[in-house]
């Protein structure tokens, strides 16, 4: 069984062709870009449709029936660079680092077209999230919730930008949980639900997470407090902010929640961060670039030459260290989890004395909380693509 085909993101940057292999874009300065488009005569599988739409007039399109014919349309003189998989037919230098560094660095800034694609991907994702919440409230299994999301988002699994994370109870503490249990839980054993799921428009992704309690209980109050804290971080997004500072703001917010809901003893929020106790409950980064790839490239790049900006000490999973600038798009996704192996390590450490262990033990069944929005930086602040999408889907 062949893997589902996924277009190279460098190709998707030029044309919204996502499901057709053996295609190439040839760009020569001063000339109309050439699209080599694979359209075989085939009755085993359905060939790709003839290119159509708003974009085709921008290309010199050459149709090929067999992959080997692509070489007939490759350039034959001048300096040539090829970006793509190593096994493909190619002229010139394969994936030269100076060119890739330049392209990856510049991917951080999105055009209005790209932002609009992500705006629409958020609307589709929000529609799926609304359906998923309804399915959870109605008693559906993780698998049934997943199916309802696909229906509402009008997507197949292969078309999603990433595998849906749909976890109830303790499964919400597995950061990339994708098993989708089939068994239904009766209402007495349904405590919480976390869904991290996005959508895809013209190759551009949305990445959205929400968490729900099945009851009007203290965990539900924690979600509300956490949501307010997450929105404070989003409100801090503006040009010239250092993204690692947003990450540390996330840690301070998590520490306040731990203090407010009495998971800690004899220590305040500042101390929780200083002693890195917050990292037990919030072990990942606060977000990442998003665009042609869910975790888009260039998050650590200091310049187009490939120099990097190091992660803050003690925060190995942060995916973005650059300074925030207009037209950048990234996620804000703090989390607070009750993860068994991390709690076990904390219990063996000298910081164990600060933990209200009976309270922590009572909340293990909930798994955890994560709330994630996609945010685009504007000239003076930011636009929250996800909140606007949810407002439109009320």
What is the residue extent of each domain of the chain?
9-95, 112-392
* pLDDT confidence of residue 89: 75
What the block records as the tokens of 214 is 């099945």
Mind listing the pLDDT tens digit for each residue in 183-193? 999 999 999 99
Do 65 and 54 form a contact (C-beta atoms < 8 A)? no
Mean pLDDT within 37-66:
96
Q: Looking at the predicted structure, is the pLDDT value of residue 219 above 90?
A: yes
**What band does 3 get if pLDDT is binned at 50, 70 and 90?**
confident
Q: Which pLDDT tens digit goes with each residue over 128-148?
A: 999 999 999 999 999 999 999
Confidence of residue 275 (pLDDT cuts 50, 70, 90): very high
pLDDT at position 267 is 98
Q: What is the pLDDT of residue 1?
A: 85
> What's the pLDDT score for residue 86?
80
Q: Which residues fall within 8 angstroms of residue 47, CB to CB, at 6 or more apart? A: 39, 40, 41
Question: Is CATH 3.40.50.970 what the domain over 112-392 is classified as, yes or no?
Answer: no
Exposure of 126 by Cβ count < 10 A (0-12 exposed, 13-18 middle, 19+ buried)? buried
The CATH code of domain 9-95 reads: 3.40.350.10
pLDDT bin (cut points 50, 70, 90) of residue 201 is very high
pLDDT at 299: 98
Q: Residue 270 and residue 268: Cα distance in Å, rounded?
A: 6
Scanning the structure block, which residue is given the tokens 């990234």?
A: 330
How sure is the predictor about 77, in pLDDT bands with cuts at 50, 70 and 90?
confident
**pLDDT of amino acid 374:** 98
- Report how far residue 287's alpha carbon sits from residue 227's, in angstroms, rounded to the nearest whole number: 15
Residue whose structure tokens are 């009495």: 262
Question: Which secondary-structure segment (H or E) carries 131?
Answer: helix 112-137
What are phi and psi for residue 321, nearest 5 degrees? -125, 5
- In eight-state DSSP terms, residue 205 is E
Mean pLDDT of 96-103: 97
CA dihedral angle for residue 16, residue 18, residue 21, residue 22, rounded to 10 degrees: 20
pLDDT exceeds cutoff 80 at 88: no
**Percent of the chain having pLDDT more than 90?**
96
pLDDT bin (cut points 50, 70, 90) of residue 270 is very high
Mean pLDDT for 172-199 is 97
């Amino acid at each position: 069984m062949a893997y589902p085909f996924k277009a190279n993101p460098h190709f998707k940057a030029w044309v919204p062709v996502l499901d057709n292999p053996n295609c190439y874009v040839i760009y020569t300065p001063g000339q109309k870009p050439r699209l080599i488009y694979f359209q075989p005569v085939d009755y085993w599988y359905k060939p790709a449709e003839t290119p159509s739409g708003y974009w085709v007039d921008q290309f010199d399109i050459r149709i090929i029936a067999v992959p080997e014919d692509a070489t007939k349309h490759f350039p034959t003189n001048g300096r040539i660079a090829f970006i793509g998989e190593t096994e493909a037919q190619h002229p010139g230098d394969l994936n030269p680092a100076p060119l890739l560094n330049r392209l990856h660095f510049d991917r951080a800034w999105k055009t209005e077209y790209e932002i609009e694609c992500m705006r629409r991907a958020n609307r589709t994702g929000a529609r799926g999230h609304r359906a998923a919440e309804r399915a959870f409230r109605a008693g559906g299994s993780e698998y049934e919730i997943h199916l309802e999301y696909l229906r509402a988002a009008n997507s197949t699994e292969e078309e999603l930008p990433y595998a849906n994370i749909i976890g109830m109870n303790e499964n919400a503490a597995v950061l990339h949980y994708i098993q989708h249990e089939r068994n239904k839980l009766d209402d007495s054993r349904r405590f919480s639900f976390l869904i991290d799921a996005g959508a895809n428009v013209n190759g551009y992704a949305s990445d959205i997470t929400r968490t729900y309690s099945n009851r009007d209980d203290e965990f539900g109050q924690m979600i509300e407090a956490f949501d307010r804290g997450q929105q404070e971080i989003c409100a801090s997004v503006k040009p010239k902010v250092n993204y690692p500072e947003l990450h540390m703001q996330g840690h301070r917010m998590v520490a306040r929640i731990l203090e407010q809901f009495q998971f800690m003893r004899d220590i305040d929020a500042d101390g929780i961060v200083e002693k890195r106790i917050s990292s037990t409950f919030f072990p990942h980064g606060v977000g990442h670039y998003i665009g042609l790839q869910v975790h888009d490239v260039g998050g650590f790049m200091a310049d187009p030459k490939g120099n990097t900006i190091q992660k803050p000490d003690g925060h190995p999973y942060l995916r973005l260290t650059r300074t925030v600038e207009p037209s950048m798009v990234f996620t804000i996704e703090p989390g607070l989890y009750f993860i068994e192996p991390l709690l076990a390590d904390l219990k063996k450490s000298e910081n164990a004395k600060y933990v209200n262990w009976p309270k922590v033990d009572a909340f293990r069944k909930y798994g955890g909380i994560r709330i994630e929005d996609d945010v685009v930086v504007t000239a003076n602040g930011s636009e929250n693509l996800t909140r606007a999408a949810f407002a439109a889907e009320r």
